[in-house]
């Protein structure tokens, strides 16, 4: 897929697709001023981590905003994992300096932090737990510009995840109000991200796109569903090349665009069934998301092949994404997608099994928690308890 100097993604209201600007050209972060001025921006809160704060492109961004008369205030997230205290700290800074716009520079953790700061600012709550679940926000968020440093889907999804320090569990907020208004893919920042993080975030985005496409709900939102095979083909085509040449900035940009489309594909479907299972396993064992998700998804998809609707959807996305021949019958086409998912995972992260720490004596508790989560998020249970138990057992 060729990338233009600048691409503005605008969908019509008739199609029920939310407008969002995407900037792809070199130094794209420096070309946001006109859009900020049109929105009436005056005081900007920048959300990032400490390593990004020290980069030269960050200083150039500050100088650009200062030259244009914007007041800028910085909030640095404290760790790699987003916890509730980070969000609360960002909300405090936003209010203290009377900010009206948020610019976030980072990956999933930082972007979700900014989204949840924005959610709390315009939806006053006593605790973040009041926002957890589906459509708990009653007010829209202030403007957010997301400058991506990795290939995550968070810049375009309608969800955000954080670790709740009281319950010691990951929580998810789902709302159409959480979508950032602008997205920037800027290799001046993404080139500083490690190879491991780049691969992990790209594999997560690939899994999100596959789950979004096979979701029964996705058929009602064809404009979004069409983004899933775009994401799959871009990520699959370029990720293996990136593994062989991790210094190629063009490949990083391509994969990041794949992450953008993956987020679009899941905007109306939210988090999928395998994603829920992954969250529960992370809660129990702290498994790294991107390295574990593809292996888990492959097993979940294999267990669903006897479901005619799911098998047909898998076959469709396999053919559209060019994972197999167009004339294969559905089950073989679906199996080819699973095989390709396993192959690229093995190529990019090796043979190590991140689920080897799963305690087989405690699988019943894991399964129980998964079924509670699927009920809480109103997800259709496509897999019965017995099969789910078998999947978790097979992981270890």
Sign, CA dihedral 40-45-49-54, equals positive
Residue of 383 and 211 predicted with greater confidence: 211
The dihedrals phi and psi of 124, each to the nearest 5 degrees, come to -55, 125
Q: Quick: pLDDT tens for 235-246.
A: 999 999 999 998
Residue of 9 and 377 predicted with greater confidence: 377
pTM confidence score: 0.89
User: Nearest Cα to 75, choosing from 53, 59, 60?
Assistant: 53
Residue 18: per-residue pLDDT: 62
Q: Quick: pLDDT tens for 156-189.
A: 999 999 999 888 888 999 999 999 999 998 878 8
Whole-number Å distance between alpha carbons of 120 and 125: 7
Residue 15 pLDDT > 60, yes or no?
A: no
| 63 within 8 A of 121, measured Cβ to Cβ | no
For residues 249-270, average pLDDT: 91
The crossing angle, in degrees rounded to 10, of helices 385-395 and 289-303 is: 140
User: Which domains does the chain carry?
Assistant: 13-190 (3.40.50.1970), 195-395 (1.20.1090.10)
């Amino acid at each position: 897929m060729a990338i233009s100097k600048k691409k503005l993604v605008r969908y019509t209201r008739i199609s029920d697709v939310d407008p969002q600007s995407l900037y792809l050209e070199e130094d794209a972060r420096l070309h946001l001023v006109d859009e900020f001025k049109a929105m009436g921006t005056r005081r900007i809160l920048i959300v990032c981590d400490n390593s990004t704060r020290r980069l030269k492109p960050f200083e150039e961004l500050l100088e650009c905003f200062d030259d244009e008369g914007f007041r800028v205030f910085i909030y640095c997230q404290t760790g790699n994992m987003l916890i509730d205290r980070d969000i609360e700290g960002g909300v405090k800074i936003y209010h203290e300096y009377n900010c009206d716009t948020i610019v976030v520079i980072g990956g999933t953790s930082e972007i979700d932090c900014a989204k949840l700061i924005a959610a709390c600012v315009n939806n006053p709550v006593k605790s973040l737990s009041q926002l957890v679940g589906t459509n708990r926000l009653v007010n829209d968020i202030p403007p957010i510009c997301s400058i991506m440093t990795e290939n995550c889907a968070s810049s375009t999804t309608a969800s955000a995840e954080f670790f709740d320090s009281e319950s010691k569990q990951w929580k998810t907020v789902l709302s159409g109000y959480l979508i950032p208004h602008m997205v920037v893919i800027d290799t001046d920042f993404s080139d500083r991200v490690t190879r491991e993080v780049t691969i992990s975030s790209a594999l997560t985005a690939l899994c999100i796109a596959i789950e979004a496409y096979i979701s029964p709900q996705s058929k009602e939102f064809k404009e979004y569903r069409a983004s899933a095979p775009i994401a799959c083909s871009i990520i699959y085509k370029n990720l293996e090349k990136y593994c062989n040449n991790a210094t190629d900035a063009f490949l990083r940009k391509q994969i990041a665009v794949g992450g953008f489309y993956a987020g679009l594909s899941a905007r109306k479907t939210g988090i999928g069934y395998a994603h829920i299972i992954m969250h529960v396993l992370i809660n129990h064992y702290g498994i790294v998301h991107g390295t574990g998700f593809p292996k888990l998804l492959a097993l979940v998809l294999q267990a669903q092949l006897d479901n005619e609707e799911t098998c047909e959807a898998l076959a469709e996305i396999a053919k559209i994404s060019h994972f197999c021949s167009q004339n294969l019958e559905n089950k073989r086409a679906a199996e080819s997608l699973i095989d390709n998912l396993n192959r690229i995972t093995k190529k990019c992260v090796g043979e190590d099994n991140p689920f080897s720490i799963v305690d087989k004596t405690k699988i019943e508790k894991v399964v129980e928690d998964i079924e509670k989560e699927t009920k809480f998020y109103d997800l259709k249970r496509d897999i019965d308890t017995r099969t789910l138990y078998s999947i978790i057992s097979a992981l270890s």
